[in-house]
Amino acid sequence: MKALCWYGKHDVRVETVPDPTLLNPRDAIIKITSAAICGSDLHLYDGYIPTMEKGDILGHENMGEVVELGTEVRHFRKGDRVVVPFTISCGRCFFCEKQLWSLCDNSNPNARKAEKLYGYTPAGMFGYSHMMGGYAGGQAEYLRVPFADVGLLKVPQELTDDKVLFLSDILPTGYMAAENCQIEPGDTVAVWGCGPVGQFSIQCARLLGAERVIAIDDEPERLALAEKAGTAETLNVDDDDILEKLKDMTGGRGPDSCIDAVGMEAHGMTPDAVLDRVKTSTLLGTDRPHVLRQAIHACRKGGTVSVPGVYGGFADKIPLGQVVNKGLTLKSGQTHVHRYMRPLLDKILADEIDPSFIITHRMSLDDAPHGYEIFQKHQDNCIKIVLKPALGTGLAFQSEPAAAQFDLTGGARFEYQTQEIGGGFLCHKFH
């Protein structure tokens, strides 16, 4: 099959690799119809996550069609359309039983590697380094999914891929980020980062009752989307003194909660941000926690700082004195995706949320290296890319079905028709 493989910093390639096979009785094999590129993939692309190996297949925001089932999978049949959560969970361990799915004790075969860095291992994850299990990702034609009965979410045919794909990661991530803020009526929530995770954090903060949301980024089109789709007020890092403005906008008290939807690759020109950059580029540090510092500083006394943004190792100069003396609550974690998939699917079905608004690009798998580049550089107004592995280069992908027939010179007949693949119509040519 074809798959998008990691080869090093800013080097990803589409290669032909062996098809996945069933390894365990609780596995399923999925034919991928849509796989998104996540901001977390950029941490791999930028070379920040250790224990990657050349040839590793990326991709953890996946959905598709079940094509093979292990003997112990009970709840699915071939042909089912499913969304795959990005963390892998056994469903039976201490942590799974507590609904702490991203902390599953049984899904990381390389637990020892993660324990060295973190003390205890988190759950295994698709396409996210050997420390996280070395599982192949789904930016590929096929994907092996362990513990299929526990993780897979069957989705109704009437919903397009575009509407349900983000149940695999970023919609639950935005939801958990907002839920962690314990929003009360009248609250103001400040959200750093207006990438996909920030956009969903904003929407979910609204769903959970925030009166005001203040969105912060340095990309005008991302801020514009936050304003339009999330009715957020916006601050541009390049033009505004963020801390002063947040104070002004909240009567001097500070936002009730602050969400860091940026993580370890924050940019900025403040002295601490410049120092972070020097440290990480000289291997004296692993993370650039400028936004986390700012969020802690800005948050009102007794407020919550919620951190969906990913940090990998050790972060310097975190103002812990502020956390203690302002009585802040700090909440974080890889998302317990399984916990949120079904309730959020219900919200999509009820038209309370349509996650497809963040998609700016759809591409074939062959075009994925270009996709990574424009997503990382924020070119072409790129906010979210969905890869369509069933789509060949140069074949058109469109939102409406179509068919046509032509008689060609010489008597040949050319027939053209579209086939529905998740979220749209792929043009097929038949002679």
Ligand X SMILES: NC(=O)c1ccc[n+]([C@@H]2O[C@H](COP(=O)([O-])OP(=O)(O)OC[C@H]3O[C@@H](n4cnc5c(N)ncnc54)[C@H](O)[C@@H]3O)[C@@H](O)[C@H]2O)c1
Binding site for Zn ion (CB under 5 A): 38, 40, 89-90, 93, 96, 104, 106, 169
Q: Are strands 329-332 and 304-307 parallel, antiparallel or unpaired?
A: parallel
Q: What angle do CA 49, 216, 356 make, to 5 degrees?
A: 75
* Residue 195 binds ligand X (CB under 6 A): yes
310 binds, among Zn ion, ligand X, none (CB under 5 to 8 A by kind): ligand X
* Residue 268 binds ligand X (CB under 6 A): yes
* Residue 219 binds ligand X (CB under 6 A): yes
Q: How far apart are CA 384 and CA 394, in angstroms?
A: 20
* Residue 223 binds ligand X (CB under 6 A): no
Supply the minimum distance, in Å, between the C-beta of residue 145 and Zn ion.
15
* Residue 42 binds ligand X (CB under 6 A): yes
Q: Which is nearer to Zn ion, 148 or 426 (CB)?
A: 148
* Residue 10 binds ligand X (CB under 6 A): no
Residue selected from 308, 312, 371, 423 as contacting ligand X according to rule CB under 6 A: 308
323-344 per-residue burial string, b: 16 or more CB within 10 A, e: under 16 = eeebebebbbbbbbbbbbbeeb
96 binds, among Zn ion, ligand X, none (CB under 5 to 8 A by kind): Zn ion
Q: Which is nearer to Zn ion, 96 or 295 (CB)?
A: 96
User: What are the two backbone dihedrals, phi and then psi, of residue 196, each rounded to the nearest 5 degrees?
Assistant: -55, -40
In a 3-state reduction of DSSP, which class is residue 75?
A: coil
User: What are the two backbone dihedrals, phi and then psi, of residue 16, each rounded to the nearest 5 degrees?
Assistant: -95, 125
Q: Are strands 403-407 and 413-421 parallel, antiparallel or unpaired?
A: antiparallel
127-186 residues near ligand X, rule: CB under 6 A: 169-170, 173
70 binds, among Zn ion, ligand X, none (CB under 5 to 8 A by kind): none
- Select from 41, 33, 47 the least CA-distant residue to 60: 41
Q: Which is nearer to Zn ion, 32 or 328 (CB)?
A: 32
* Residue 262 binds ligand X (CB under 6 A): yes
Question: Which pair of structure tokens corresponds to residue 246?
Answer: 């947040």
Q: How far apart are CA 274 and CA 226, in angstroms?
A: 27
Q: How far apart are CA 308 and CA 176, in angstroms?
A: 8
Residue selected from 56, 141, 162, 218 as contacting ligand X according to rule CB under 6 A: 218
Q: Are strands 142-145 and 81-84 parallel, antiparallel or unpaired?
A: unpaired
Q: Which is nearer to Zn ion, 171 or 390 (CB)?
A: 171
Q: How far apart are CA 14 and CA 288, in angstroms?
A: 30
93 binds, among ligand X, Zn ion, none (CB under 5 to 8 A by kind): Zn ion
Q: Which is nearer to ligand X, 243 or 396 (CB)?
A: 243
Asked if 149 contacts 75 with a C-beta cutoff of 8 angstroms, the reply is: yes
Residue selected from 216, 298, 328, 386 as contacting ligand X according to rule CB under 6 A: 216
Supply the minimum distance, in Å, between the C-beta of residue 280 and ligand X.
14
173 binds, among Zn ion, ligand X, none (CB under 5 to 8 A by kind): ligand X
For ligand X, which stretch binds (CB under 6 A), given 148-156, 182-190, 256-264, 317-325? 256-264
Supply the minimum distance, in Å, between the C-beta of residue 264 and ligand X.
6
Supply the minimum distance, in Å, between the C-beta of residue 117 and ligand X.
17
Question: Which pair of structure tokens corresponds to residue 201?
Answer: 């954090």
Show the binding pattern over residues 321-360: x = contacts ligand X (CB under 6 A), - = does not.
-------------xx-------------------------
DSSP lists the bridge partners of residue 188 as: 212
Give start and end residues of each alpha helix (H) in 46-138. Answer: 94-97, 111-118
Asked if 34 contacts 63 with a C-beta cutoff of 8 angstroms, the reply is: yes
Q: How far apart are CA 341 and CA 155, in angstroms?
A: 10
Residue selected from 2, 3, 6, 39 as contacting ligand X according to rule CB under 6 A: 39
In a 3-state reduction of DSSP, which class is residue 95?
A: helix
Q: Which residues bind ligand X (CB under 6 A)?
A: 38-40, 42-43, 169-170, 173, 192-198, 216-219, 222, 237, 261-263, 266-268, 290-291, 308-310, 334-335
